[in-house]
Chain A
Amino acid sequence: MISLILVRYGEMTLKKKNYRQFLQMINDNIKRKLREFHKIKYFNTDYRFYIYLNGEDYQKVIEKLNTVSGLSSYSLCSETSNNYDDIAKLGIKLISEYKKTERASFKVETNRADKSYPATSIEISQEVARRILPNVSGLYVDVHNPDITLNIDLRSEGTYLYVETVKGLGGYPSGMAGSGILMMSGGIDSPVSGFLALKKGVNLKALHFASPPYTSDLALQKVVDLTEVLTNYASSGVIELLVVPFTKIQDSIHNNASNIYMVTLMRRAMYKIASLICKRDGIDVIINGESIGQVASQTLESMKVVNEVTNIPIIRPLATFDKEEIVDIARRIKTFDISIRPYEDCCTVFVPEHPIIKPNLELVLKEEAKCNLDDLIKEALDNIETIKLDSVHKYNVFSKNDEFDL
């Protein structure tokens, strides 16, 4: 029976100076995420965080812990009494369950946190190993490079054993790295990008461009649902989604500029708006889901021409990822099924058959000048709708009344 989860902190152990602050942040994040488990008790040292389950389901707890960035790994510990025979008995069970090959090497590692225990760590390890060895077939000792390590954690509250260590989410504690605005189209890439940024401790706001009536309420719902998935990884459990009315800008570009520049000009307008929001709201960076060469607007040449509108850093977590790698993450974080819903987004309406893949800045500026975008951008900024999304409540763009409640 798993009764304790031992949690190890991640990369932040490298950050010497701010360590205390990070520790506080991550411990708060863990506690906030596990609030629903009433029976849980906590205890932490400088390098480890202990969760006493007191009967809570460990799988559900791990599921929640996997949304906390900054955790490197967990060990699932079973409890026994502190006499050698009992420890060995549980050890045999754990090793037998874990052992996958006919022959396997092992060692016993003891952490004697309870200093009143009348034997040294090494003595305890030896005594326990001696009792286990003849009782598991194919087992032999290798203290340098064992296949299986049985860990004994002797604490005054109890004696805990584990063999298995599972990987955590990794990254930095949420909120540690400053803030970013995530460009959210509704596709597969942007939520994955947002997830990676959250994992690295970036506080997020999401930005979506809606072009009703070309894009539907359901396209917006899709972005809402995607953002709601991301809120699971935010320490506060909240992400604000800013919805920019983009129709007029899109119409103006469509009516005034050459068709092949449609996408380039739209994206320039979007980044202008994003950077204005960053300045207004004190956000540090823009984050997007671009991956080099994936579509016409994501060639390096296109990025250059689009990037020209802002001096705010644009972080592209997926720049060098293959589609397959991105899809893998999307499936894992459960955004994939939402992303593949078939609604049009503003980037897919009016798209020319052959958009320009190596746009020339001079020509782009000339086309842009025809579109009277500055006023329209200002108007769009003034009419942004802010939707506060969280990991508990489902937001429904269709109806602010209750017609869908059964």
Chain B
Amino acid sequence: MIYLDYTATTPMDSEIIELYARLQREFFANSSSLNKLGQRSDYMISRCKEDIFNTLGIKNYDIVFTSNATEANNIAILGYLSNYKSGHIITTKIEHPSVFEVYKHLEGVGFKVDYLDIDENGKIKLGELKKLINKETLLVSIMWVNNIIGAVEPIKDVIEILKDYPKCRLHVDGVQGLCKVEPNFDFNKIDFLTLSAHKIYGPKGIGGLIYKKNLEIGKIMYGSNAQKGLKPGTMDVGLVGCMCKAIKKYYPLTEKHYEYVKSLQDRLIEGLKKLDRVHINLVGESPYITAISIPNINGETIVHALEEREIYVSTGSSCSSKLKKPEKTIMALTNNESLATSLIRISLSHLSTVSDVDALVCALEKIK
């Protein structure tokens, strides 16, 4: 089997699987219980928070552990904006649906939304942001690394621009960036940072929203006061511990893995360039993601054809793959519907090998 869909999800690290079992055995007690077992669970969670902050070099932040990054994005955007009835907010045309659709929803209930365009490198146009942002802008959501084309967005420049707008908060969806691309910006300059565990060899079922302390975030769910009421419900110490472990283990390896995956991607691109029918949409700065199109062949057809050879890739974001519409990021990048419907996303990992890449190129060549 050749798995090349690591952007959709990653297999769990076996050390983390074992940790999960240990934590379930030893820390099953409810972290909201005041008895000693419960308090041990609670303490474990606070240790995990501390570990995460220390690993990422973050100070004066809090984190709410969510069921996934989608939930974290929703809490960030809807929660923060629940302080307002209307106002101006900005995002991009290439966000993940868990951001994009939330902005669409807000547009329908009275917020004025601007969607930033991207340039030929898949990066947002900073000039456009400068033009659109104003003293009344409440929130800007920009992803760190795009999940379809691997473009690394200029978060550092966005931070600079936002300096002049103290009222405006910055939300960064860091899911495809963390542990994959070395950040060239300071996490401490961001108001909300969304993370996911299962993209970095941790378990599914847990994500997190890191947010600046003292930010007023309204509730979008109701229940107990667990996690300051932002995500009520019993916490799974096992999942929290595994997310923490994944970050602790993989964040320090970011650069090393990047270099390796970059060399793999170089080889992949070299191979793909020899195939006449293949159009490479973008060689983004993140070597983990390569978006190609084979015009006039539906993306799904290719996926299934490769699948017969036990090669697993995807047709773009798995979160919107069932929509059967032209992929919005490729549309934004190329404005070409044919490319956007025949999209294939190849995503690599430090676990991928040269022979995986060669086998894929070979298979693509053979597909008629």
Chain A interface (Cβ < 8 Å from any Cβ of B): 216-218, 221, 394, 396, 398, 403-404, 406
Contact = CB atoms under 8 A, between A and B. Distances in A.
A217 B39 CA distance: 8
A218 B245 contact: no
B26 A398 contact: no
A221 B51 CA distance: 17
Interface in B48-73: 48, 50-51
A216 B43 CA distance: 12
Nearest to B43: A398
13 contacts: A216-B36, A216-B39, A217-B36, A217-B39, A221-B43, A396-B43, A396-B47, A403-B26, A404-B47, A406-B19, A406-B47, A406-B51, A406-B248
A406 B48 contact: yes
Interface in B9-53: 19, 26, 34, 36, 39-40, 42-44, 47-48, 50-51
Residue among A394, A398, A403, A406 with the most chain B CB within 10 A?
A406
Contacts of A396: 43, 47
B241 A406 contact: yes
The 3 closest A-B pairs by CB, nearest first: A218-B39, A406-B245, A404-B47
B292 interface: no
A218 B241 contact: no
A398 B36 CA distance: 10
A371 B36 CA distance: 30
A396 B42 CA distance: 13
Contacts of B40: 398
Given A216-B34, A406-B19, 16 more contacts: A216-B36, A217-B39, A218-B39, A218-B42, A218-B43, A221-B43, A394-B50, A396-B47, A398-B43, A403-B26, A404-B43, A406-B48, A406-B51, A406-B241, A406-B244, A406-B248
Nearest to A225: B46
A330 to B, nearest CB: 15
A221 B47 CA distance: 12
A404 B240 CA distance: 12
Nearest to B62: A337
Contacts of B44: 404
Query: Which DSSP category, helix, strand, loop or mixed, fits chain B's interface?
Result: helix
A319 to B, nearest CB: 30
Contacts of B241: 406
Nearest to A406: B245
Interface in B234-252: 241, 244-245, 248
Nearest to A342: B34
Contacts of B245: 406
A406 B26 CA distance: 13
B363 to A, nearest CB: 40
A342 to B, nearest CB: 8
Interface string B312-347: 000000000000000000000000000000000000
Contacts of A217: 36, 39
A59 to B, nearest CB: 11
Contacts of B43: 218, 221, 396, 398, 404
Contacts of B248: 406
Contacts of B19: 406
A394 B47 CA distance: 10
A229 B47 CA distance: 16
A398 B40 CA distance: 7
A396 B39 CA distance: 13
Contacts of A216: 34, 36, 39
Contacts of A218: 39, 42-43
B219 to A, nearest CB: 20
Contacts of B34: 216
Nearest to B60: A334
B226 to A, nearest CB: 13
A350 B248 CA distance: 44
Contacts of B39: 216-218
A384 to B, nearest CB: 23
Nearest to B16: A406
B29 to A, nearest CB: 13
Contacts of B47: 396, 404, 406
Residue among A217, A221, A394, A404 with the most chain B CB within 10 A?
A404
Nearest to A397: B43
B211 to A, nearest CB: 15
B176 to A, nearest CB: 24
Contacts of A221: 43
Contacts of A404: 43-44, 47
A368 to B, nearest CB: 32
B48 to A, nearest CB: 7
Contacts of A398: 40, 43
B246 to A, nearest CB: 10
Nearest to B39: A218
A218 B36 CA distance: 8
A398 B241 CA distance: 17
A392 B245 CA distance: 22
B132 to A, nearest CB: 28
Interface in B270-285: none
